[in-house]
Amino acid sequence: MPTPTTVAAEVRAALVERVVAWFQAARRDLPWRAPERTPWGVLVSEVMLQQTPVVRVEPAWRAWLERWPTPAALADASTADVLRAWDRLGYPRRALRLRECAQAVVERHGGQVPDDEAALRALPGVGEYTAAAVRAFAFGRRAVVVDTNVRRVLARAVTGLALPAPTPTAAERAVAAAVVPAGDAAASAWAAASMELGALVCAARSPRCAACPVADLCAWRAAGYPGDTHAHRRRTQAWHGTDRQCRGRIMAVLRAADDAVDRTALDAHMAATPADAQVTRCLAGLIEDGLVEQTRGAYHLPREGADAR
């Protein structure tokens, strides 16, 4: 794999210049990119976009920001309201972590999302990628923003691999850092542009190489499009019948219910046999995760204050 010293400066410069120019014409009109965006809105978008496609996130993001336009507004929301608003975005623990994040922003930063990367990473639910993305997209600051899309672009264009390794490596991070321009404006532009290129053109399964602005610079193309050297390390899991699907169906039933749902009614909604082992297992997991509560043998979203009595 190339190192920062072997990625030629002229190649880095051409890569950045062309991808950023392409982005200006091809970028999607997304609300969290609008001039009037807020740091809080950017943070919410980044949490929602984790493992969830843009088409599902955009309407949920708009509704969320209309209801909770600031960290302080979300900090006071009930758990049940937060989980209902999260709806079918998936991985509902993200919703609770986002509320915890809002509470921390209020307590530690006076209700304002910080622009310091270390302070961002100290917030609940904010990891390396999210902190860098908020710094770049909300504040226009230099950060090494590396998501799945950026990793794929760099793997192909710079290192000549069909796909990056299943988990990021130190060498991969070094290459990513070397490509990022030095200035704030150029770096934040590259972050957005490289991510968009990976999403719209340099796709995992069907890359549109004829539409790529850096096809002639691409090491993978120059090598004759070699196969995925990490294919044997990748695990895929069908969605239908998994515990994740079961948990999602349980949450959907409870979000729609006006009151607690007993096990018989829940099994009927799930079209499951009585005392189905998978439903039992998933209910136990949801209760442990703080997403569901059980009261007198019936299940419901978490209740707080007077509602819990």
As annotated, the active-site residues are 46
One-character DSSP codes across the chain: ---TTTS-HHHHHHHHHHHHHHHHHH----GGGSTT--HHHHHHHHHHTTTS-HHHHHHHHHHHHHH--SHHHHHT--HHHHHHHHTTSS-THHHHHHHHHHHHHHHHHTT-----HHHHHTSTT--HHHHHHHHHHHH--------HHHHHHHIIIII--SS--SS--HHHHHHHHHHS-SSHHHHHHHHHHHHHHHHHTS-SSS--GGG-TTGGG-HHHHTT----TTGGG-----STTSHHHHHHHHHHHHHH-SS-EEHHHHHHHHT--TT-HHHHHHHHHHHHTTS-EEETTEEES---GGGG-
